[in-house]
Amino acid sequence: MSLSATSAPPSPAAPPPPPTRRRSRALTLNRLDLKVSPYLYIAPFFVLFSIFGLYPMLRTAWMSLHDWNLIGEHSFIGFDNYTRLFTDEYFWNATVNTFGIFLLSTVPQLLLALFLATLLNRTLLRARTFFRMAIFMPNVVSVAAVAIVFGMLFQRDFGLFNWLLGLVGVDPVDWDAQKWSSWTAISSMVNWRWTGYNTLILLAGMQAIPKDLYEAAAIDGASQWKQFWRITLPMLTPTFVFVVTLSTIGGLQLFTEPLVFANGNIIGGDQREFQTLAMYMYELGIENLNTAGYGAAVAWAMFVMIALVSLVNFLLVRRTVK
């Protein structure tokens, strides 16, 4: 009698047990965690931005449509505050001062920051860590201290710069009495304080560029200048656009440096030689209780200017470094 070689057919798999209530609740919580938790993580930012950013902007826009004073009295006047800007001599004077100081500070500052970042990125440079720390030190110094020191340097009678000019036969300059001289003094203060900050941001962008690109370019015989122009600048475009945008916003909102340079005089000199838009807005909105609505209109004019200039800078930088 022979045994059969065929095996018995496998038994069908048992159906999975029905989910218990505890397991179903765990699955539901897991789905909610995946969908809801990302919004909870970023919610604090939007809450704080809504309280300290969005609401003040909307409140300022509403105030700009009224004849508003800080006592609480106001009446709706529509766009009269904005039409008034076109005939306000002080507003256009502050606009010219703002853009004049902005050009004298931002353009040299960015070029110098790009040059210094290139030097600090070289592998042959010794004590790179020391120089990177040292170049950031001006940014951590108090603005008031910086303004006091530069105010002493630019003094008319005993200032260092007038002493140096006197060595070459140039008469002493009253730095805070004329537009060009006050713009130069304030822009030098801004450049000294913010060049190192922008340098480190650009340096971080340079270090993210793959080294293989430079090695391949060197093998092909590309010079240092061609490597910088063909590799560094195109690869650095996002970082450079970021730095330009930050510098534009900061330059057009300049307030502390010219205020301290004027020894707290909010009008920026005897004849408003270096009063910026931010100073003019503060004069209208804070110091003068009866023109808060008009000061709000100046604030929104500043916002539009900053947005337009930032957009123009973005397009120019993108086109230049392509």
pLDDT per residue over 72-87, tens digit each? 778 888 889 999 999 9
181-216 pLDDT, tens digit each: 889 989 998 898 889 899 999 998 888 888 888 888
- Res 291 pLDDT > 60: yes
Cα–Cα nearest to 153, from 164, 142, 143, 169? 164
Percentage of residues in the chain with pLDDT exceeding 70?
A: 89
Domain ranges within the chain, ordered by starting residue: 80-320
Bridge partners (DSSP) listed for residue 67: 75
CB 64 within 8 A of CB 297: yes
Class level of CATH domain 80-320: mainly alpha
Phi-psi region at 252: left, alpha or beta (left = phi > 0; alpha = psi -120 to 50) = alpha
CA-CA distances (angstroms) from residue 25 to 32, 35, 40?
11, 15, 20
The more confident residue out of 302 and 225 is 302
Cα–chain center distance at 130: 26
| Range name among 26-40, 154-168, 226-240 with the lowest pLDDT average | 26-40
**Which amino acid, 254?**
L
pLDDT of residue 220: 81
CA triplet 102, 108, 111: central angle to 5 degrees? 130
Cα–Cα nearest to 205, from 114, 293, 288, 274? 114
d(CA 258, CA 226): 40
Any idea which residue has 């209780």 for tokens?
A: 289
16-34 pLDDT, tens digit each: 555 566 666 666 767 776 7
Reported as a pLDDT band with limits 50, 70 and 90, residue 1 is: very low
| Mean pLDDT of the region 170-189 | 86
d(CA 179, CA 176): 8
pLDDT of residue 3: 46
Mean pLDDT of the chain: 83
> In the 8-state DSSP scheme, what is residue 6?
P
Please give the full DSSP string across 124-177, using - where no structure is assigned. T-SSHHHHHHHHHHHHHS-HHHHHHHHHHHT-TTT-HHHHHHHHTTPPP--TTS
